[in-house]
Amino acid sequence: MSTRKEIKRIAIFTSGGDAPGMNAAIRAVVRTATFNDFHVYGIYRGYDGMIKGDIHRIESNDVANIMHRGGTMLKTARSRDFMSPEGRKMAYESLMANDIDACIAIGGNGTFTGAKFFSEEFEIPFVGIPGTIDNDLVGTDYTIGFDTSVNTAMRAVDKIRDTADSHNRLFFVEVMGRNSGYIALNTGIAAGSSAVLVPESDASVDDLILMLRKGAKRNKLFSIVIVAEGNKFGGAIEVAQAVKDKFDFYDTKVAIIGHLQRGGSPTCFDRVLASRLGHAAVGALLEGKRNVMVGQLNNEISYIPFDDAINKPKEINADLLALAEILAL
């Protein structure tokens, strides 16, 4: 296992979907590593850049004035080539050409899967920082970007509420969350939605129709239903079509918020979380840890093996699901 004496040059990269707060994490890694006399190198465009040798030295001044920016200064990309042994060998050769001793990866499930295989094949220590708006990684209460994304979605629904109220409309609002309902559930509660449909719930379209009918009996003038894009009964368009014919007194509309949820200046929460996790990732390397993701559980720094972060499902909060249904009455 690598020790502090063996690690002098570390590389950092972002991979997969971008998330607000990634730049704050990069800043924390670079400045913490510099404080501990490491040389830091940035890998541009994730694993694709690692294969192509797009690796450059980063100094402390290079990460000034980036904390408030969304996206990632290191850019990001998905790499099919890295999925092959030949591609990973090319990536290894690029790291060796730059004398890289360890890597810090910011991303989600796919990023950590690649890091796990690569580290096992070539004995290079990897530490992961959870950067994904979906908040779907076990081992941390929150992932970088989730809070910003939920606030973006909530503000969008607040605006939709104004027109829904004015026109007696039934709105189906689709938010991101391919396999995770965290964005939908939190947005639904915060925006006062009439119902929330998430991948983790068994609630059917018939259940939704029953709930909407209850609201109609109370002379509810408009309704907003939040639908996670990965909902098992379809996205907002499909669900709206299934419900539309049942409520001819509603003017039914669909709004898909889409990639607006990925962009924008990160919230205070995401900036602080990213800073803590970036600092902790360097600390993990100093302590000789490898193949782990740093997280925050109950406001304390935690470490979880990549195997668990990748393979263990993060259960949705059942109490929040029940709360969303009660408050929609």
Single-letter code of the amino acid located at 24: A
Q: How far apart are CA 193 and CA 160, in angstroms?
A: 11
Q: How far apart are CA 242 and CA 201, in angstroms?
A: 18
Does residue 134 carry a catalytic annotation?
Answer: yes
Residue 38: phi and psi, rounded to 5, are -90, 150
Q: How far apart are CA 189 and CA 146, in angstroms?
A: 15
Residue from 18, 48, 134, 147 carrying the catalytic annotation:
134
Choose among 45, 72, 90, 121: nearest CA to 291: 121
CB half-sphere exposure, 3, CA atoms < 13 A: 1
Beta-strand ranges (E) seen in the chain are 9-14, 39-43, 55-58, 102-107, 126-130, 169-175, 195-197, 223-228, 251-256, 292-297, 300-305
43 contacts 57 by C-beta, under 8 angstroms? no
Report the SS3 class of residue 212. helix
Report the SS3 class of residue 310. helix
193 contacts 157 by C-beta, under 8 angstroms? yes
Catalytic residue list: 134
